[in-house]
Amino acid sequence: MRPVAKGIAASGGQARGRACVMRDKLRPVEPGEVLVTVLTDPVSFADLVEHAVALVTDLGGLTSHPAILARELGIPAVVSTRDGTSTIQDGALIMVDGDTGEVFAVD
């Protein structure tokens, strides 16, 4: 299986869910979805992430807000994919591997 996105493994574990891709406009994340976004910040994303099963961002590092937030919530995270918001389709079933830093499409 080839990854659809690769980045930094920022919070360990694996999770599957439908991708909730947010580029410009914020919307609620439904329970069981994977939040895929450019970057998170403490103000805009505080309530959105609580239902996510995993987090994928285009930017960030091990000490960035999304990495710390994912570790606090105990959910897998891959940060610094550079292009996750453009290579992952909104609504696609994906698997996030927070141990390897890879995101896979699930058939």
Domain count, the chain: 1
3-state DSSP assignment of residue 10: strand
Structural domain harbouring 13 = 3-105
**32 phi and psi, to 5 degrees?**
90, -5
3-state secondary structure of 81: coil
* 38-77 residue pLDDT tens: 999 988 887 888 899 999 999 999 999 999 999 999 999 9
Q: What is the pLDDT of residues 88-107, one digit of tens each?
A: 999 999 999 999 999 999 98
Looking up residue 28, the CATH number of its domain turns out to be 3.50.30.10
Burial zone of 9 (CB within 10 Å; 0-12 exposed, 13-18 middle, 19+ buried): buried
Q: Which residues are catalytic?
A: 65
